[in-house]
A and B are shown apart, each in its own frame.
Chain A
């Protein structure tokens, strides 16, 4: 403290000494940094991860373009409105993500995830095309469907294209594969029901969204009511509104027998044949202003009478 009076004679060497220590610390920091990114670290890189034809490296650009980090955390960094996304792929799997991402405002149902598994990319990546095997493999998806399926989320719908969705899944696959030194910490409290009870003091089923998770065969007494039930069970309403508003896909109100302009410039009448085709092969005719390939094909998922019931339900919806 002899320099407390600030004699200039002892200021210069002291500063020099400090800079020397600083340089040593900087050296340590640089050496540690080099070791962090050497090949021997064995860290996964985005150029080695893909989902079907989609690259994780492209997914990172999509992730940044939508500023996902502005609501979610990634490796714990970002905003704290929504959950951490680092291990989302590991928990919920690609098909759940594909069912969720186009219509983020609604939680996917079993049928919506099953529809995604028809996609060969999906079944190849998930390792199965059976929904039961999928839910077993990704318990996070099963838990999400069971508790939230069919309900609304707090997330706004984003105008993601089919390619962007695939790229995002590839990116989340990459972050799930990263070695983050044990973060997020593993949950060690046993039993899902017990954990929910610890959090809220009540049992899990008490506050689950009252959404039927399996498409229970409803007696088709009234085809309109049956159709209304089917569009809920299959998760259609996550994207389609019962009025003429655009959620993700076109609204249904007053759609029947109206003129629809298609993306190729032609116009068709929304008759029974058109509605059937749009359910079974949605990419055959794309409505102007909507992206291709976002809706999965329900060709092999719905029985004939179910399609009829849905069409009957669509007939009943007036323009509002």
Chain B
């Protein structure tokens, strides 16, 4: 594939910025994990809340960079013409850098309690989770979203000619801007403030990012596997609709305990239990789309990260989200380490990996690299996948201990009781964090220097270890739909065990008698089981895809064997 439109090249700078912000964000994450173990590290210099504000803000910013990069790369292909107003896109790029730098200086003001109040609004920073940035940055971000929406909508053909991909992206970029407005005013009541804060956070993730995610995954699959755009469009339409139909009222799962009435518990439990449906749908489609033909993977890292995105979405957002979405389970998971286990897998997994996948797809094309060494990218993928699954494991099991000590036993001394009981899992967090960080550095190094390193001689092994069909597992054989279904079922079985673990905190035996055996046992089976099945499934899926490369390189005589027919 080659660049067809010059404005596609504008995506390059956003991908590079994404990688830089990603690495800085991971650095803050490592600091946070260390401070969870020992809160005195850098206390007074970079307090935990400042590092966390940076961690969340950079996370949002680099995910947006990935989205913008991907949208700019596919936009001209969808519109069949150059993007309009490239100067606005360049402006957007510099605005993003300014916002990141501005936040670096203003978020630190939380240490001295300066919010920059003027006209009843906090202009410098506002100390709200995910929306820490102050009003000045908020308005700048709004302008940035307006630019993005304007450029995309102006470039697209008239609405009448839109296919599902246009619809997905068009709605996505418009809603991105619309939803952000709810975060731009100060609310005096705590319950109302939280109500509107989740408008931004939930509808962004569940309503907007998810839509952009589904659409981009669909179109990247079209580009990579030459899938029929109509059939992908069908999946995109239903994915988007299921996301919105379940997620609109599904937002109610944030309104259980913030001071809003009890009836939200009914609506939230009902509708957000449906939220995994589109994810299962998307999961199934990547299986189908990746198997429309039997050609070898041309760009393995790009597909690795797309698969990682869809699979981690399935377990992070889908399964772990499902386990804590009922009022009877959420009452325990809420406000504990169980929540970030879900959050990390869902946010990095679903959206972060998609941005990296888009970069892996687009950067070699823009740099005109036909045959690049894909081993580094694969290594990076396995490191970030393992690191993230391990961190989620530490969060979730540590969180289960936290629920017991903090909520069941009512011991609220974090230094003396809670942290002490969570000890081992608090240590696991920075440990897997280091694995993740190494993976992130490998990915960033690989993408930034891709095509600039020593070029690979033609015919060299760029795929790494031979993907022979392993004699014991025979995982190189093609993955059948039935087998993929069994894997998915296994993930959900472990998800059910996890849900039961949270539910079992309600039993008198646990809650009144204080016996944690059952929830610990279920969590001890459920979480590691889910993480392991996920890891093995990705391994299995990719082994089957890699085997195609082998088939391709073997003499054509073998290709007519029935197994590959």
- Return A319 CB to nearest CB of chain B, in Å: 22
Cross-chain contact of A77 among B110, B194, B251, B404 (Cβ < 8 A) = B194
Map CB proximity to B onto A184-197 as digits: 1 under 8 Å, 0 otherwise: 11011100001110
Contacts of B561 in A (CB 8 A): none
Whether B255 contacts A45 by the Cβ 8 Å rule is no
Whether B412 contacts A83 by the Cβ 8 Å rule is yes
B558 on interface, CB distance cutoff 8 Å: no
Bound-state Cα–Cα, A69 to B197, Å: 13
Name the segment of B122-130, B276-284, B547-555 touching the other chain: B122-130
Whether A188 contacts B413 by the Cβ 8 Å rule is no
A46 on interface, CB distance cutoff 8 Å: yes
Whether A75 contacts B190 by the Cβ 8 Å rule is yes
Cross-chain contact of A178 among B125, B128, B191, B404 (Cβ < 8 A) = B191
Contacts of A153 in B (CB 8 A): 415
Considering the complex, which residues of chain A in the window 63-115 have a beta carbon less than 8 Å from any beta carbon of chain B? 63-71, 73-84, 91
Whether B334 contacts A76 by the Cβ 8 Å rule is yes
Cross-chain contact of A71 among B48, B228, B245 (Cβ < 8 A) = B48
Considering the complex, which residues of chain B in the window 389-440 have a beta carbon less than 8 Å from any beta carbon of chain A? 402, 404-421
- Return B169 CB to nearest CB of chain A, in Å: 15
Considering the complex, which residues of chain A in the window 4-59 have a beta carbon less than 8 Å from any beta carbon of chain B? 4-6, 11, 14-15, 18, 21-22, 25-26, 28-29, 32-33, 35-37, 41, 43, 45-47, 57
- Return B333 CB to nearest CB of chain A, in Å: 9
- Return B324 CB to nearest CB of chain A, in Å: 12
Interface SS of B by simple majority: helix
Of A77, A83, A140, most buried by chain B (CB within 10 Å of CB) is A77
A174 on interface, CB distance cutoff 8 Å: yes
Name the segment of B15-23, B263-271, B371-379 touching the other chain: B263-271
Please judge, given known A-B contacts A184-B335, A189-B410, whether A60 and B188 are in contact too, CB under 8 Å.
yes
Whether A199 contacts B421 by the Cβ 8 Å rule is yes
Whether A70 contacts B127 by the Cβ 8 Å rule is yes
Contacts of A185 in B (CB 8 A): 331-332, 407
B260 on interface, CB distance cutoff 8 Å: yes
Cross-chain contact of A36 among B195, B409, B512 (Cβ < 8 A) = B195
Contacts of A65 in B (CB 8 A): 110, 113-115, 117, 122, 125, 127
Please judge, given known A-B contacts A43-B259, A68-B127, A80-B337, whether A181 and B265 are in contact too, CB under 8 Å.
yes
Q: How large is the interface on A (under 10, 10 to 19, 20 to 34, 35 or more residues)?
A: 35 or more
Whether B413 contacts A147 by the Cβ 8 Å rule is yes
B181 on interface, CB distance cutoff 8 Å: no
Bound-state Cα–Cα, A65 to B122, Å: 8
Contacts of A35 in B (CB 8 A): 261, 263
B339 on interface, CB distance cutoff 8 Å: yes
Contacts of A200 in B (CB 8 A): 417, 420-421
A240 on interface, CB distance cutoff 8 Å: no
Cross-chain contact of A18 among B233, B245, B262 (Cβ < 8 A) = B245
Contacts of B125 in A (CB 8 A): 65, 67
- Return A66 CB to nearest CB of chain B, in Å: 5
A159 on interface, CB distance cutoff 8 Å: yes
B50 on interface, CB distance cutoff 8 Å: yes
Please judge, given known A-B contacts A84-B335, A187-B409, whether A75 and B115 are in contact too, CB under 8 Å.
no
Contacts of B127 in A (CB 8 A): 63-70
Contacts of A36 in B (CB 8 A): 191, 195, 255, 260-261, 264
B453 on interface, CB distance cutoff 8 Å: no
Contacts of B420 in A (CB 8 A): 200
Cross-chain contact of B110 among A26, A29, A67, A175 (Cβ < 8 A) = A67
Whether B190 contacts A74 by the Cβ 8 Å rule is yes
Bound-state Cα–Cα, A47 to B245, Å: 37
Bound-state Cα–Cα, A45 to B189, Å: 6
- Return B177 CB to nearest CB of chain A, in Å: 18
B53 on interface, CB distance cutoff 8 Å: yes
- Return A290 CB to nearest CB of chain B, in Å: 15
- Return A46 CB to nearest CB of chain B, in Å: 6
B183 on interface, CB distance cutoff 8 Å: no
A120 on interface, CB distance cutoff 8 Å: no
Contacts of B231 in A (CB 8 A): 4-6
- Nearest residue (CB) in B for A29 is B249
A218 on interface, CB distance cutoff 8 Å: no
B257 on interface, CB distance cutoff 8 Å: yes
Contacts of A148 in B (CB 8 A): 413, 416
A207 on interface, CB distance cutoff 8 Å: yes
Map CB proximity to A onto B163-177 as digits: 1 under 8 Å, 0 otherwise: 010010000000000
Whether A207 contacts B416 by the Cβ 8 Å rule is yes
Whether A37 contacts B192 by the Cβ 8 Å rule is yes
- Return A68 CB to nearest CB of chain B, in Å: 7
Contacts of A187 in B (CB 8 A): 407-410
Please judge, given known A-B contacts A4-B231, A46-B188, whether A75 and B110 are in contact too, CB under 8 Å.
no
B44 on interface, CB distance cutoff 8 Å: yes
Considering the complex, which residues of chain B in the window 35-92 have a beta carbon less than 8 Å from any beta carbon of chain A? 35-36, 39-40, 43-44, 47-50, 52-53
A80-B336, A83-B414 known; 17 new pairs, CB 8 Å cut-off, are: A5-B231, A6-B233, A22-B241, A43-B191, A60-B190, A67-B125, A68-B49, A70-B47, A78-B129, A144-B413, A148-B413, A160-B113, A189-B409, A194-B514, A195-B410, A195-B514, A209-B416
Query: 26 A-B Cβ contacts within 8 A?
Result: A11-B237, A22-B244, A25-B245, A35-B261, A36-B195, A37-B192, A37-B260, A43-B259, A61-B117, A63-B127, A65-B110, A65-B117, A67-B132, A68-B49, A70-B50, A74-B190, A75-B191, A83-B412, A83-B414, A148-B413, A156-B43, A158-B113, A175-B190, A199-B405, A200-B420, A200-B421
What 8 A-B pairs come out closest when comparing CB atoms?
A70-B49, A6-B230, A187-B410, A76-B335, A67-B127, A183-B257, A67-B110, A64-B127
Which B residues are closer than 8 A to A by beta carbons?
35-36, 39-40, 43-44, 47-50, 52-53, 107, 110-115, 117, 122, 125-129, 132, 164, 167, 188-192, 194-195, 197, 228-231, 233-234, 237, 241, 244-245, 248-249, 251-252, 255-265, 267, 331-332, 334-337, 339-340, 402, 404-421, 511-514, 516
